[in-house]
Amino acid sequence: MKLIASEAMKKVDTKAIGEMGIPEAVLIENAGRAVADAAADLMGDPREKRVILLIGKGNNGGDGLAAARFLLKRGALVTLVLAEAPESFGPGAALQYKICQSFPFTILRWEKDQNEVLQACAQADLFIDALLGTSFHGKVREPIRSLLETLQMVPVPVLAVDIPSGVEADHGYTDLALHARATVTMIAPKPGLYLYPGAGYTGKIILADLNTPPSLVLEAESNAELLTEDLVRHVLPKRPPNAHKGMNGRVGILAGSLGYAGAAELCSKAAVRAGAGLVTLYTQPEVLQPLIIKSTEVMVRPVTEASLKAFRSFDVVAAGPGAGKAPETVQYLRELLPQLSQPLVLDADGLNALAGDDALLQSLQKKIFTPHPGEMARLLGKSTGEILQDPVRAALEGAARWQAVVVLKCTPVVVALPNGQVFINTTGNEGMATGGCGDVLTGTIAALLGQGLDLGQAACCGVYLQGLAGDLAAEGGKIGLAAGDLVTHLPAALDKVKKR
């Protein structure tokens, strides 16, 4: 599903009105109807329910005013709280306000009627936030700032119009916003609805197409998409009835060291559970025996000089999970990786071994890098805070710089391709904030590469499936969820996507 940023969204609106001949008032009416429907879903029967509409001066406020009329018709008791004087309203909101004056609304101004506003809010069943739309950038200013700060302390459910006021549509930045139970977003979803911290304020996201033609979104400028079940199902490999292990990929994994044998086990088992035909794990001699005992479906070998040649025989190689930072390991990786011509998934200590050497990173042939924010910071020479402030930009910068597919393991996970395309994941949960989940992801992506997906497809599908496995595992509880639970649920995740 395409994500459309604020500037591109302005062009979409202009095209709908100017080229397609859809009057702005019709779009606002349709938006108001969608908001009223969502409000009814949240509250139940609107009759006698007290609804407070928080109205800004732009088209977002116009959508709210249209919704107010629809809710009034359904029997709701509606109060309009105007953040600013009606004389400052834009054309769309001004027209809606003129229409509303013929209806029996209670109309209050925040700056003039604060006591009355507070009394009304204390009795409300729902707030509808129509203050600031997708054009908002920066910090929330007065008079809206004091209104939001006051309402943050009132325990009333919130429905946001298009995006919670105070959240930037492109990046999800916010310094102040109300936590919405749900957000009705118009025509197409915006990146900031899915990127933190803004994603923490959106609640359930409801898409309202406003009865516009599909071509409006299909032809819109965008380099960003949501990773959805439909997208993943479309590219997942289909296994024929006469399949054999040789058809499903020979995966070679370099992972594990003293103290980090678990990373090797999780990575290799994830590759098996994600459908790889044959998995061979190369690990340090000191953890060889424990891994042989624990990894019954995986062939386990010691890392030696001779194994440098062995890696060339695999269909795909994954390197780095728990490999360690010993000088001899770093040297081994720096010698091995440039020799590989097959697809490579490079994670953790594999990335650390090459950090600061852009020439070597660029020279690797078919590569997927899977850094967490700290590793990405080292690779780009930035702080972790800078990476987290704009993970999409960081992932795209890395993908272009190294000509690699970059899987940035933040929340949500971001996948960036060298051509400038970026995907934002929609699966996963806070229970997955535990050691080893990244190792599972590396093995999952490697298995999908071995089954014939290209680099971008394998990265996107691997991210989605690993998150879905986490969601299935979390049905038994999020707290205490372990990385091994993801491995266990990978087959069910694959099955769920394929059977829909």
DSSP-derived secondary structure for 160-217: EESS-TTB-TTT--BSS----SEEEEESS--GGGTSTTTHHHH-EEEEE-TT--THHH
DSSP 15: I
Q: Is 179 assigned a ligand-binding role in the annotation?
A: no
| CATH 3.40.50.80 applies to domain 230-499 | no
Query: Quick check: pTM over 0.75?
Result: yes
**CB burial class (10 A; 0-12, 13-18, 19+) of residue 155?**
exposed
Task: Answer yes or no: is 263 a known binding residue.
Answer: yes
Is 358 one of the annotated binding-site residues?
no
Please tell me whether 135 is known to bind a ligand: yes
CB 222 within 8 A of CB 8: yes
Pairwise CA distance, residues 91 & 102, whole Å: 18
Residue ranges in the chain whose pLDDT is less than 70: 500
489 appears as a binding residue in the annotation:
no
Taking CA atoms, 198 is separated from 7, 174, 179, 228, 308, in Å, by: 18, 6, 9, 20, 46
Residues 464/227, Cβ–Cβ less than 8 Å: yes
Q: What is the pLDDT of residue 342?
A: 97
The annotation status of 138 as a binding-site residue, yes or no, is yes
Three-class secondary structure of residue 465 per DSSP: helix
Provide the residue type at 435 as one letter: G
Instruction: Tell me if 165 is assigned to a ligand binding site.
Output: yes
Is 435 known as a binding-site position? no
Q: Is 133 annotated as a binding residue?
A: yes
Q: Give the whole-angstrom CA distance, residue 322 versus residue 438.
A: 11
Q: How many CB atoms lie within 10 A of CB 335?
A: 11
Does 175 count as an annotated binding residue? Answer: no
Query: Annotated binding residue at 230?
Result: no
- 60 annotated as ligand-binding: yes
Do the bridges between strand 2-3 and strand 224-227 make them parallel or antiparallel, or are there none, so unpaired?
antiparallel
Query: pLDDT tens digits, residue range 349-372?
Result: 999 999 999 999 999 999 999 999
Alpha helices in 55-198 (DSSP H): 59-73, 91-100, 114-122, 144-151
At 500 the pLDDT is 67
**d(C-alpha 423, C-alpha 387), whole Å:** 16
Contact assessment for residue 347 and residue 438, using Cβ atoms and an 8 Å cutoff: yes
What is the rounded distance in angstroms from the CA atom of residue 445 to the CA atom of residue 453? 9
Backbone angles phi, psi at 21, to 5 degrees: 75, 20
Classify residue 146 as exposed, middle or buried by CB count within 10 Å of its CB (0-12, 13-18, 19+): middle
Cis preceding-peptide flag for 197 (omega within 30 of 0)? yes
Q: Which stretch of DSSP H or E encloses residue 317?
A: strand 316-319
Which run of H or of E encompasses 42?
A: helix 24-43
Q: How far apart are CA 308 and CA 317, in angstroms?
A: 12
Cβ-in-10-Å burial (0-12, 13-18, 19+) of 209 comes to middle
Residue 137, annotated as binding a ligand:
yes
Residue 166 token pair: 């105070």
Query: Residue 47, exposed/middle/buried by CB under 10 A (0-12, 13-18, 19+)?
Result: exposed
Torsion angles phi and psi, residue 120, rounded to 5: -65, -40
**Taking a C-beta distance cutoff of 8 angstroms, is the pair 59, 89 a contact?**
no
- Evaluate whether 387 touches 409 at the Cβ level (below 8 Å): no
The one-letter amino acid code at 144 reads I
439 assigned to a ligand binding site: yes
The candidate with the shortest Cα–Cα distance to 5, out of 240, 192, 230, is 192
Q: What's the pLDDT at 240?
A: 84
Instruction: Flag whether 134 is marked binding.
Output: yes
Tell whether 63 is in a known binding site. yes
Tokens for 349, please give them: 């200590």
The torsion angle over the Cα atoms of residues 231, 232, 235 and 236, rounded to 10 degrees, is -160
Phi, psi values for residue 123, rounded to 5°: -105, 5
d(CA 284, CA 304): 9
Q: Is 485 annotated as a binding residue?
A: no
Contact assessment for residue 51 and residue 64, using Cβ atoms and an 8 Å cutoff: no
Superfamily of domain 2-222: YjeF N-terminal domain (3.40.50.10260)
Any known ligand binding at 162?
Answer: yes
Nearest to 196 by CA among 396, 430, 411: 411
Domain boundaries defined on the chain: 2-222, 230-499
Q: Please check whether residue 409 is in contact with residue 370, taking contact to mean a CB–CB distance below 8 angstroms.
A: yes
